[in-house]
Amino acid sequence: MRKLRPNQQRSVGRDAHRALYAEYMASAAWWERRREWERTELASTGLPAVLCVACNMKWTLRDDLHHIDYDRLGDEAHDDLWPMHRPCHTKMHQLIESSKSWRRMSRRFANVQALPVLRREIAGLPADEIQTLTVTGLKEFL
Q: What is the DSSP letter of 80?
A: G
Instruction: Tell me the C-alpha to C-alpha distance, in Å, between residue 108 and each of 18, 27, 79, 121, 129.
Output: 18, 24, 10, 20, 24
Q: Which of 15-19, 72-76, 101-105, 130-134 has the lowest mean pLDDT?
A: 130-134
Those residues with Cβ within 8 angstroms of residue 59's Cβ, 6 or more apart along the chain or in another chain: 49, 50, 51, 52, 83, 84, 85
Q: Specify the pTM.
A: 0.77
Strand partners, 51: 58
* pLDDT tier at 15, thresholds 50, 70, 90: confident
pLDDT higher than threshold 70 for residue 130: no
Of 14-28, 33-47, 72-86, 125-139, the poorest mean pLDDT is in 125-139
Q: Rounded CA gap, 113 and 109, in Å?
A: 6
